[in-house]
Amino acid sequence: MTALRWGAHARTADPVAEARVLGANQVQIMLGDPRSWRGPQLDYAGGPEALRQAAAQAGLTVWVHAAYIINVASTNHRVRLPSRQLLQRTVDLAARLGAAGVVAHGGHVSDDDAPEQGQANWRKCLDGLDLPLSLLIENTAGGRNAMARTPERLAALWAALADSPQRDRLGFCLDTCHAHAAGFDLAQAVDRLRAITGRIDLVHANDSRDQAGSGADRHTNLGQGQCDPEGLAQVLRQADAPIVLETPGGLEEHQRERAWIERCLLADEPVSQAALD
């Protein structure tokens, strides 16, 4: 097996130290309050350049998750325009700290809007961004009018972005909890999503507290939720992408999840429930 590319979401005070304790080579951070228009902010001592240097010395790949509040698909200009601005500022700061990419949710339109309006708004946003790094659109768990929940909506969004001048900077992040909540068969999710996007750049490896198709975005630790364990294992094997945990707990829980991830990638047989304990 090649070197495991894995890590977890961390606080920005010292994500390098958190990754070192885990023995991880990937880390994901938020730049400030994910539900606030204020930001982005980085509270790492020494600022973004110091974090860039420390991560490089540690052999650590940094990913930045954009604020949840961002919705560039919205037809409401009081949401859409600040979303574009906050996304650009997030990209700028992420580039300064040496991030490999910025992950953003696909967003949604209202009940009165056609999905095509949201897709067109995404295209305008992508075309207008200054992107010195990759922008990864993440599949989402719920929302009847979401841009990136169902295969059909995601395919329509990707088609709308296909000939953007920024197309080479566009990537995809597969969240396993979100896919489960949206009703995907996880065992088939990688093939289905890669057929649409052409790539999977990052996997958010999360179990789900709720049943398949629930639309609920509630993460739990691998093997402790409602996701099919073999389906989860299939995603990790087939995606061949860096893995980031967004699950509860700390060192003990994440080390246990690391051991399970390694067994998944090495397994020649289906992963049993017992292997998750």
pLDDT tens per residue across span 111-163: 999 999 999 999 999 999 999 999 999 999 988 899 999 999 999 999 999 99
Mean pLDDT within 179-187: 95
And the tokens for 234?
Answer: 């299939």
And the tokens for 72?
Answer: 């560039």
pLDDT over 90 at 277, yes or no: no
Q: Which residue has the higher pLDDT, 270 or 208?
A: 208
Residues paired with residue 238 on neighbouring β-strands, in sequence order: none
pLDDT over 80 at 11, yes or no: yes
Please tell me the predicted confidence (pLDDT) of residue 271: 63
Give the whole-angstrom CA distance, residue 256 versus residue 142. 29
Give the whole-angstrom CA distance, residue 168 versus residue 185. 29
Helix (H, G, I), strand (E, B) or coil at 207: strand
In the CATH hierarchy, which fold is given to the domain comprising 6-276? Answer: TIM Barrel (3.20.20)
Give the whole-angstrom CA distance, residue 120 versus residue 101. 23
Q: Any idea which residue has 């566009």 for tokens?
A: 170
pLDDT tens per residue across span 42-82: 999 999 999 999 999 999 999 999 999 999 999 999 999 99
Average per-residue pLDDT in the chain? 94
Among candidate residues 239, 150, 153, the one with its CA nearest the CA of residue 202: 239
Residue 264 pLDDT class (50, 70, 90 cuts): confident
Torsion sign, CA atoms 89, 218, 149, 109:
negative
pTM for the model stands at 0.95
Please tell me the predicted confidence (pLDDT) of residue 268: 55
pLDDT over 50 at 274, yes or no: no
Determine contact, residues 263/271, Cβ cutoff 8 Å. Answer: yes
Residue 216 pLDDT class (50, 70, 90 cuts): confident
Give the whole-angstrom CA distance, residue 111 versus residue 140. 17
pLDDT tens per residue across span 81-119: 999 999 999 999 999 999 999 999 999 999 999 999 999
pLDDT over 80 at 258, yes or no: yes
Mean pLDDT within 1-27: 92
